[in-house]
């Protein structure tokens, strides 16, 4: 098959769940003999087109800021969509898989599919609904309408979680048309990475944006420090909230307890997760939460939070971690209980590793391949 993936952010130049999914699935589909093309912003130096891990990457426009004032840039999304269309319509594919967010590129993919008579599927990582108002205020009305329209322009849907599927159904999408294909992990690669010698009690890995609520994690660490003065927390990631978070850690007197890291190479991230006692993901909006199952594969329990927009809640149960309210004191209490109780943590580690077996990328790519052929 000749397959085109559409998403403005391209891994490994931009690191996040959606782009990691395309990278992992794409290179496996290429290994199976498929011709895989990825259309995104040109984050790399050199030619607009390059070969990478068996895939052909197409840079349709120059790099732009993905975030402006902590929010996804509408201007970037529109420019990418406009520049994308000529690239897609120029070639004939057997299938186009477009990531739903940031929406405008889905219209380009649909128009190209009509002209070239190519099936198109939209992969949904999240459905925001009324969250648009929280994200943008009153202009969120327009974001909500665009999301609704995108849900109507195709007849084939992929959702990465049950939560996303259910939300698509609330938009009026026929549930029989929605395939649930979760994100995954490379179990073999994770298994051979040794732990880092730089140990910590708590680790966070993710983009430093408002919805991740890392400020609440810092406040929780402040609570933990009252009974565990030497508690260590590592925060790995970058984003528009980073400077504010560094300032908050200083104000809370956590300079000796919290260390910030840039996004680092994947193997080093896994090594650091393996050398931690627990992973905390206090995100109120998570389309899936790949880092959760990465932690599971490392034998590390996870604390996450209850939120209507946090699909990671579907991954964590009482055997593999804890799901708390988004309150610093409550999260702090959960951290203390797990850090102090090594035997309980070890039982969770075993259950977490068993749970991770369900999410190997090889199986995910195989399932997607079958759906694409249909």
pLDDT average, residue stretch 336-342: 95
Q: Class for domain 187-359, per CATH? A: alpha beta
Q: Give me the pLDDT at residue 303, please.
A: 98
95-137: pLDDT as tens digits: 999 999 999 999 999 999 999 999 999 999 999 999 999 889 9
CB atoms within 10 A of CB 244: 14
187-359 shares the fold of 2-181: yes
Q: Give me the pLDDT at residue 310, please.
A: 94
pLDDT average, residue stretch 58-78: 93
> Which residue has 């990671």 as its token pair?
312
**How far is 38 from 21, CA to CA, in rounded Å?**
12
pLDDT average, residue stretch 183-203: 96
pLDDT average, residue stretch 338-366: 95
Averaged confidence pLDDT in the chain: 96
Q: Give me the pLDDT at residue 262, please.
A: 81
138-187: pLDDT as tens digits: 999 999 999 999 999 999 999 999 999 999 999 999 999 999 999 999 99
In degrees to the nearest 10, what's the CA dihedral of 280, 285, 287, 292?
Answer: 0
- Predicted model pTM: 0.86
Query: Of 297, 298, 293, which is closest to residue 272 (Cα–Cα)?
Result: 298
Is the per-residue pLDDT at 15 higher than 90? no
Q: Which residues contact 138 (CB under 8 A, 6 or more apart)?
A: none
**Banded model confidence at residue 215, pLDDT cuts 50, 70, 90:** very high
**Which H or E run includes 4?**
strand 2-6
pLDDT average, residue stretch 61-84: 93
Q: Give me the pLDDT at residue 70, please.
A: 77
> Which residue has 């994947």 as its token pair?
266
How close are the terminal C-alpha atoms of the chain, in Å?
A: 12
Pairing of strands 200-205, 178-180: unpaired
**Which H or E run includes 224?**
helix 214-225
* More confident position, 79 or 262: 79
**How far is 282 from 292, CA to CA, in rounded Å?**
11
> Which residue has 């190519």 as its token pair?
118
Residue ranges covered by each domain of the chain = 2-181, 187-359
The answer to whether the beta carbons of residues 30 and 54 sit under 8 Å apart is: yes
Give DSSP secondary structure letters for 139-180: THHHHHHHHHHHTTS-S-EEESSHHHHHHHHHTT--GGGEEE
Q: Give me the pLDDT at residue 16, please.
A: 83
Q: Give me the pLDDT at residue 71, please.
A: 85
**How far is 314 from 99, CA to CA, in rounded Å?**
21
Extended strands (E) in 297-369 = 302-305, 309-310, 321-324
CATH 3.40.50.2000 fits 2-181, yes or no: yes
Is the per-residue pLDDT at 67 higher than 80? yes
- Burial class, 343, CB count within 10 angstroms (exposed 0-12 / middle 13-18 / buried 19+): exposed
**How far is 112 from 120, CA to CA, in rounded Å?**
9
Provide the 3-class DSSP secondary structure of residue 94. Answer: coil
DSSP letter at 268?
H
pLDDT average, residue stretch 310-325: 96
């Amino acid at each position: 098959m000749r397959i085109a993936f559409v998403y403005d952010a391209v891994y490994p130049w931009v690191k996040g769940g959606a782009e990691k999914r395309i990278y992992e699935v794409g290179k496996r589909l290429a290994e199976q003999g498929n011709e895989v093309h990825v259309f995104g912003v040109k984050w790399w130096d050199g030619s607009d087109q390059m070969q990478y891990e068996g895939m052909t990457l197409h840079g349709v426009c120059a790099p732009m800021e993905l975030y402006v004032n902590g929010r996804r840039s509408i201007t970037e999304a529109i420019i990418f969509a406009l520049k994308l269309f000529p690239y897609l319509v120029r070639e004939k594919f057997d299938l186009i898989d477009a990531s739903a967010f940031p929406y405008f590129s889905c219209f380009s993919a649909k128009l190209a599919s009509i002209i070239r008579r190519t099936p198109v599927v939209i992969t949904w990582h999240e459905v925001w609904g009324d969250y648009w108002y929280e994200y943008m205020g009153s202009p969120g009305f327009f974001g909500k309408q665009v999301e609704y329209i995108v849900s109507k322009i195709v007849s084939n849907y992929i959702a990465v979680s049950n939560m996303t599927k259910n939300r698509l159904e609330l938009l009026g999408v026929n549930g029989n048309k929605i395939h649930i294909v979760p994100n995954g992990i490379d179990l073999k690669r994770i298994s051979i990475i040794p732990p880092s010698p730089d140990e910590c009690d708590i680790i966070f890995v993710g983009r430093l944006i408002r919805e991740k609520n890392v400020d609440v994690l810092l406040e929780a660490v402040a609570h933990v420090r009252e009974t565990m003065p030497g508690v260590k927390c590592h925060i790995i990631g970058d984003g528009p909230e980073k400077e504010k978070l560094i300032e908050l850690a200083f104000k809370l007197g956590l300079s000796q307890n919290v260390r910030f890291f840039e996004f680092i190479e994947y193997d080093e991230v896994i090594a650091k997760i393996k050398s931690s006692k627990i992973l905390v993901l206090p995100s109120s909006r998570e389309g899936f939460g790949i880092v959760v199952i990465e932690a599971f594969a490392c034998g590390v329990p996870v604390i996450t939070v209850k939120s209507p927009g946090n699909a990671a809640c579907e991954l964590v149960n009482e055997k593999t971690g804890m799901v708390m309210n988004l309150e610093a004191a409550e999260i702090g209490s959960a951290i203390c209980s797990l850090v102090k109780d090594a035997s309980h943590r070890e039982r969770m580690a075993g259950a977490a590793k068993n749970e991770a077996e369900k999410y190997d990328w090889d199986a995910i790519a195989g399932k997607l391949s079958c759906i694409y052929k249909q």
